[in-house]
Structure 1
Amino acid sequence: MKKIIVACGSGVATSQTVASKIQSLLRDRNIQAQVEAVDIKSLDTHIRSSVAYVAITNPEKEYPIPVINGIAFLTGIGMEEELEKIIQALK
């Protein structure tokens, strides 16, 4: 199963909330994926096995996979566009 990672500073509060929201949105569309919240320190380890990275903070470097705006899933502003990027990455 393809994996999406969501990272924030601690990998607990905000990233868990966003990961749950994404998982629910994908399930509503009958799309299977593993959505995992991680702390920012372990991001490089998880990047290698993921198809997209949902960033809660602005990334400080380039990544070899699509970087999705995670704030959109907290505010709802631009969420559909960001969700579409995730769906495309899963194909």
Structure 2
Amino acid sequence: MKKIIVACGSGVATSQTVASKLAKLLKERKVPAEVEAVDIKSLKHHVKSADAYVSIVKSKEEFGIPVFNGVAFLTGMGQEEELQKIIDLIEED
């Protein structure tokens, strides 16, 4: 099962909201994935075991895994497109 982490710039509240929404959307579409909100301070640790990262804030840092736009899940703008990209990643095996 693919693991997706979500982190925001200031802590866990926004990332928890996005992680919950993403998990719900994936479950509704019967796409198995583990979605976890993590503290930005521990991001580098969690990235090592993740298959994808959903970011709330833009970062110039490279993580070696696909990075998706988490703002889309907060605003709803572009949400379906980002969700489909994540589903494509999960199902590409």
TM-score higher than 0.5 here?
A: yes
Q: Deviations over 1:27-86 (max 9, x none)?
A: 000011110000111111111111110000111311211110000001000001111111
**Secondary structure of 1:14's match?**
helix
Paired residue for 2:83?
83
Unpaired segments ≥5 residues, structure 2: none
User: Which residue does the alignment assign to 2:2?
Assistant: 2
How big is the alpha-carbon RMSD for the aligned residues of Structure 1 and Structure 2? 1.0
Q: 1:87 is aligned with what amino acid?
A: I
Cα distance in 1 between the residues matched to 2:60 and 2:29: 32
Runs of 4+ in 1 over 6 A off after TM superposition: none
Q: 2:33 matched to which residue of 1?
A: 33
- Unpaired runs of 5+ in structure 1? none
TM-score (norm 1): 0.93
Amino acid at match of 1:3: K
Matches within 5 A, 1:6-85: 6-8=6-8, 9-11=10-12, 13-85=13-85
Amino acid aligned to 1:24: K
Q: Give the share of equivalent positions with the same residue, in percent.
A: 61
Instruction: Give the Cα–Cα distance (whole angstroms) in 2 for the partners of residues 42 and 86 of structure 1.
Output: 22
